[in-house]
Amino acid sequence: MADVEMETQMGLDSEEDYGELSDAELQEAFSKGLLKPGLNVPLEEPKKAVNNIEGLKMCLAEFKKNLPWVERLDLTNHPAVDVLAKIEGTLNKKQSSGEIDAEDDFQREMYFYRQAQATVLEALPKLKKLQIPTKRPDDYFAEMAKTDQHMQKVRKKLMQKQMAIEKSEKAKKLREQRKFGKKVQVEVLQKRQKAKKAMMTAVKKYQKGMTDKLDFLEGDQEGKKGSTASKSQMSKKGPNAKRKYKDQKFGFGGKKKGSKWNTKESFNDVSGFRAKTAHGKGGKKFNKGGKKNKRPGKETRRKMKARK
């Protein structure tokens, strides 16, 4: 019974392709076990590519011309060892096994280059033995594959490229410099502002009476001395005597109202008295160093003019 059901099922499901095979044949095949229950679809055999190895070998044997190496100049070799990659340690496993990644342009071209290099290295000694020259003597002029004009174009292009690179590098450097200069400027300004702020806060504190010490004054000077270590020779004597006097008189708060008035001490202090200056006889120093293009007077000038 089951068999009959299966057959009917197959009969219903079968497509036009099965027209070739009659039902009886199908039944036979099923009973033999060649066909399994269910929908059977005829599979197409995948197209096999022709690879007539024997034919190829025969053809090669017939075709081959046993010429001496001189005529052919052909070599089969692996590419030369990539010295740079070895040093850098970037040798891929693939490379060492001989597989080239065709997508990686640089690697691929380097592979071809190294293959050519290996050939050249092997072939040159052979050629030398056979006395075939490889170097063209300087006075041997002959037509080249590319015309001189073309080579000039090539050279021009290379020069242009180089110049472009140089220009871009210069521009980069300039930009960097400018940025750096700007940075430095900003830093210096910030530093100044900070110092000013610190000084102001310290002064305010002192004014308000929060701190007794006047340390912040010295601190500032110290800071200045520290930064201008190279200028220590110049500022060894510290601020000018004039500066000192003025600071004393005008700087850093304190009473200012009576600063221009004489006190007993300042009145009795005769150290600044110079007799010659007082009597107006310190002549040499105060002259302009003699007559320097002293202009003659009006009358003299008129007379000179008249004389002319």
Segment near another protein (CB under 8 A); pick from 51-59, 193-201, 207-215, 264-272: 51-59
Reduced to 3 states (helix: H, G, I; strand: E, B; else coil), residue 165 is helix
169: left (phi over 0), alpha (psi -120 to 50) or beta: alpha
Comparison of 112 and 250: residue with beta carbon closer to another protein? 112
Segment near another protein (CB under 8 A); pick from 136-144, 187-195, 205-213, 248-256: 136-144
Q: Which long-range contacts (CB under 8 A, 24 or more apart) does 43-51 make?
A: none
CB of 176 to another protein, least distance (A): 31
Amino acid at 211: T
Q: Is residue 127 within the footprint of another protein (CB under 8 A)?
A: yes
CB of 223 to another protein, least distance (A): 55
Taking CA atoms, 135 is separated from 127, 132, 139, 206, in Å, by 11, 9, 12, 90
* Nearest CA among 206, 230, 231, 233 for reference residue 218: 206
Other C-beta atoms closer than 10 Å to the C-beta of 238 total 10
Comparison of 161 and 302: residue with beta carbon closer to another protein? 161
Radius of gyration of the chain (CA): 53
Rounded (10°) CA dihedral 100, 106, 111, 116: 150
Q: Is residue 60 within the footprint of another protein (CB under 8 A)?
A: yes
Comparison of 6 and 110: residue with beta carbon closer to another protein? 110
Comparison of 145 and 270: residue with beta carbon closer to another protein? 145
Give the Cα separation of 104 and 95 in Å (integer).
12
Q: Is residue 55 within the footprint of another protein (CB under 8 A)?
A: yes
Q: Is residue 100 within the footprint of another protein (CB under 8 A)?
A: yes
Comparison of 67 and 270: residue with beta carbon closer to another protein? 67
Give the Cα separation of 220 and 7 in Å (integer).
111
| CA-CA-CA-CA torsion sign (195, 201, 207, 212) | negative
CB of 162 to another protein, least distance (A): 13
Both structure tokens of 35: 């066909």
Segment near another protein (CB under 8 A); pick from 107-115, 163-171, 240-248, 296-304: 107-115
Q: Is residue 29 within the footprint of another protein (CB under 8 A)?
A: no
Segment near another protein (CB under 8 A); pick from 7-15, 27-35, 134-142, 242-250: 134-142
Q: Which of 29, 81, 84, 121 binds another protein (CB under 8 A)?
A: 121
Q: Is residue 50 within the footprint of another protein (CB under 8 A)?
A: yes
Pair 217, 252: CB distance under 8 Å: yes
Q: Is residue 84 within the footprint of another protein (CB under 8 A)?
A: no
Q: CA angle, 126 as apex, 125 and 127 as ends, to 5°?
A: 90
The residues that touch another protein, with contacts defined as CB under 8 A, are 49-53, 55-57, 59-60, 62-65, 67, 70-78, 80, 98, 100, 102, 108, 111-113, 115-121, 123-124, 127, 132-136, 139-146, 150-151, 153-154, 157-158
